[in-house]
Structure 1
Amino acid sequence: MGFDLRARLDERRARHRYRHPRVQDGPCGRVARVDGRDYLNFCSNDYLGLAADAEVVAAFRAAADQWGVGSGASHLVCGHQRPHQDLEEALAAHTGRSRALLFSTGYMANLGVITALVGRGDAIFEDRLNHASLLDAGLLSGARFRRFAHNDAGALAGQLARSDAGRKLVAVDGVFSMDGDQAPLAPLLDACEAADAWLMVDDAHGLGVLDGQGRGTAFAQGVNERLPVYMGTLGKGLGTSGAFVAGSEELIETLIQFSRSYIYTTAMPAAVAAATRVSLAKAAAETWRRDRLAALIRRFRHGAAELGYALMASDTPIQPIRVGEDADALALSRALAERGLLVTAIRPPTVPEGQARLRVTLSAAHEEGDVDRLLDALETAKCRN
């Protein structure tokens, strides 16, 4: 029978779900340059505007001069250099944990943690709207895989009570990447503690953004001391690349011994680790970035609601405009692009059927006038329809 790849591609095109990368001809920031044209960028995850920050770039450049541009090996062979160690210690302190462990990507961190902690005879429970990396990790672990209704601690408690698994792990996003809402960590932890289960939080979109020092959802919700497993990424709020897991001494040692995506992967360049230490310090100290971000979020939500757009319950930089049909979301994205605004249309399977949307993301690099320009374009697009 063979592989009929063309038919699959044609079907995706016909359903308005074909994707392709845009070639960026400039650094990540407030403005994106694509095909010779500048666009105001409202789809980057650079929430604090640190990706091209001059001090972060200078730290990267200086570390590259000293340490080179590659680590040369996995952490456990000879790739673990002093900047990696220094960053792990800084991340542990920032998140209030005994230790932290670096991974090359958030996807690999989630795969590494879940497959190291649970397997056959165990059970993994996940929110239905979890990121694909958490879902894939749960399926690959070999543990019994269960999904519970979005942010429904009662549904989770029922599933946990019915499970006779040897070990039970619950995994959720701290901030859900396509909706922008937060997981209710306190009731989820209540359910876990009652069933002798562990909770793991993927805080890719909360780290740097939430809490007065940017320590993420667990601190913002006052439950950090109760949370056994914390994962954060470095390529969003912190503006660099990579990920980490933070927790107890025993957790980190377990991951070093059993996490295949840590053991068998080349360590990130030391220059990235050195630059991230600077961006982490800036994220914690420069509170004006979060203050500006919060003001921009309020400005956008007020203006979009006045225009009659369907927003979602989010107080984070992720501000989805729910559209519905795939073709309509693409049309709105194109209308904004015509006016020099880059906002990506998100369609299934990334989001559920019938819930295509524009995922507006705001950054401390934006200005009030940028948000006003986006609102003006949204008003024009609405009048056109």
Structure 2
Amino acid sequence: MDAVLALELQDRAQQNLYRFRQPFDGAQGAIVQFHGKSYINFCSNDYLGLASHPKIAEAAQLGIQKFGVGSGASHLVCGHHEQHQLLEEELAALTGRESALLFSTGFMANIGTINALVDQQDSVFQDKLNHASLLDGGLHSGANFRRFPHKNYSRLQQLLEKSQSRRNLVVSDAVFSMDGDECDAKQLANLCQSKAWLMLDDAHGFGVFGKNGAGFAEQQNLTQQQLPILMATFGKALGTCGAFVAGSKQLTETLIQHARSYIYTTAMPAAMAMATRQSLNILQQEPERREHLKQLIAFFQKNCVQLGLPVMQSNTAIQPLVVGDETSCLQISQSLKESGLMVVAIRPPTVPKGTSRLRVTLTAQHQLSQVEQLLER
């Protein structure tokens, strides 16, 4: 086995597609420590700068003192804690949904939800650039799985009109993680009104968009009827870990009964639920974090265009600079690192061949001077 795997790994390395982990020394933030050296971090999904917030850390510590470290079991055995229940209720209220259900990770939420809702009698339609967890969920469900070109909703309409399945499920990212662009959620909702159920993954919008930070659905004024299946995560803007699915009580009860990634896994620690509740409080009490991030995004976009940099149009914290080939992208990333700037190179198969890019992510912790320093490089 090892000999075969070694050859495959060698081939990947020769194509400049080998992936490495980078063990950081300290906490997440706009400045990170790596091998004893400080870097300005433009890689993190910690969009509101909450991952190291002292109040959230204090809530986690208090939770550990009161409830211990582990949850001990799955939610359906004896792992469901009062803190989980309170967090679910607060998430439902924030998103304007009847109910919400916690999952340990976003990947598990997407896999579990899709597989609980459709099977061989059904069809799943997905944007070609959806996150891997959504695509895997569709493939594993056994349903007729169709992908439509990125944001090509006329093609989606054609596919829906031809479908003879028992039920149709349309799935899209709200914000696409490698391009930073947004789906047209209202057009999707109109298309699905009588033909399909709509599911959006708002991992990169939740906490960032909306008057109250409730995400893309709030920004677009999408009701539960228009968007019956809303998924979002805590590991990005909220600075903790885990995920949730929100919708009707019938939806969450169905997931409790059928979502294997919910049923057959240990519940997140109660202390983490307590910390995430504190994140929700800060999210709503400190809208200036979202406003500062919005200003940084506009500044970066404007200056990239003025400098002639190959930035993709994006109104989100994800600001991709398309380089093209893998070798050049790696070289630029390394050069930036040598200058004290951490910007990750994204290569195939995460993005299509020939579109390797520097994926710049901005956070509310960044100062304007730090963004200017990146632009000057």
TM-score for the superposition, normalised by structure 1: 0.96
Q: What is the alpha-carbon distance in structure 2 between the residues aligned to residue 243 and residue 2 of structure 1?
A: 36
Aligned residue for 2:202? 203
C-alpha contact 2:97 2:247 (8 A) present in aligned 1: yes
Aligned AA (1:260): R
Aligned residue for 1:170? 170
C-alpha contact 2:91 2:100 (8 A) present in aligned 1: yes
Q: What is the alpha-carbon distance in structure 1 between the residues aligned to residue 31 and residue 323 of structure 2?
A: 25
Q: What is the alpha-carbon distance in structure 2 between the residues aligned to residue 283 and residue 149 of structure 1?
A: 34
Q: What is the alpha-carbon distance in structure 2 between the residues aligned to residue 87 and residue 315 of structure 1?
A: 29
Q: Secondary structure at the match of 2:240?
A: coil
Superposed CA offset, 1:308-350 (max 9, x none): 1111121000000011101111111011101100000000100
Superposed CA offset, 1:357-384 (max 9, x none): 000000001111110111112xxxxxxx
Aligned residue for 1:234? 234
Q: What is the alpha-carbon distance in structure 2 between the residues aligned to residue 284 and residue 124 of structure 1?
A: 35
C-alpha contact 2:310 2:321 (8 A) present in aligned 1: yes
Aligned AA (2:352): P
Task: Please give the root-mean-square deviation of Cα atoms over the aligned residues, in Å.
Answer: 1.1
1:221 Cα deviation (Å)? 1.4
Aligned residue for 2:95? 95
Superposed CA offset, 1:1-43 (max 9, x none): 9971111101111111101110010011111111111100000
Q: Secondary structure at the match of 1:246?
A: strand
Moved more, 368-377 or 102-111: 368-377
C-alpha contact 2:202 2:230 (8 A) present in aligned 1: yes
Aligned residue for 1:309? 309
Aligned residue for 2:136? 136
Q: What is the alpha-carbon distance in structure 2 between the residues aligned to residue 288 and residue 2 of structure 1?
A: 52
Q: Secondary structure at the match of 1:100?
A: strand
1:248 aligns with 2:248: yes
Aligned residue for 2:66? 66
Aligned residue for 1:215? 214
C-alpha contact 2:301 2:313 (8 A) present in aligned 1: no
Aligned residue for 1:300? 300
Q: What is the alpha-carbon distance in structure 2 between the residues aligned to residue 113 and residue 162 of structure 1?
A: 24
Q: What is the alpha-carbon distance in structure 2 between the residues aligned to residue 214 and residue 325 of structure 1?
A: 37
Deviation >6 Å, runs of 4+:
none
CA gap 1:122/1:71 in 2 versus in 1, 3 angstroms: same
Structure 1, unmatched stretches of 5+, are: 378-385
Aligned residue for 1:149? 149
Aligned residue for 1:278? 278
Q: Secondary structure at the match of 1:66?
A: helix
Moved more, 181-190 or 101-110: 181-190
Moved more, 7-16 or 122-131: 7-16
1:42 aligns with 2:58: no
Equivalent pairs counted in the alignment come to 376
TM-score for the superposition, normalised by structure 2: 0.98
Superposed CA offset, 1:124-161 (max 9, x none): 00000000000000000000000001112111111010
Structure 2, unmatched stretches of 5+, are: none
Aligned residue for 1:127? 127
Q: What is the alpha-carbon distance in structure 2 between the residues aligned to residue 284 and residue 331 of structure 1?
A: 41
Q: Secondary structure at the match of 1:311?
A: coil
1:189 aligns with 2:189: yes
Aligned residue for 1:116? 116
Aligned residue for 1:326? 326
Indicate the percent of aligned positions where both proteins have the same amino acid: 53
Q: Secondary structure at the match of 1:4?
A: helix
Aligned AA (1:212): K
C-alpha contact 2:180 2:319 (8 A) present in aligned 1: yes
Q: What is the alpha-carbon distance in structure 2 between the residues aligned to residue 43 and residue 213 of structure 1?
A: 25
1:285 Cα deviation (Å)? 2.1
1:222 Cα deviation (Å)? 1.9
Aligned AA (1:182): E
Q: What is the alpha-carbon distance in structure 2 between the residues aligned to residue 223 and residue 250 of structure 1?
A: 19
1:194 Cα deviation (Å)? 3.7
Q: What is the alpha-carbon distance in structure 1 between the residues aligned to residue 72 and residue 192 of structure 2?
A: 41
Aligned residue for 1:383? none
Q: Secondary structure at the match of 1:38?
A: strand
Q: What is the alpha-carbon distance in structure 2 between the residues aligned to residue 324 and residue 222 of structure 1?
A: 37
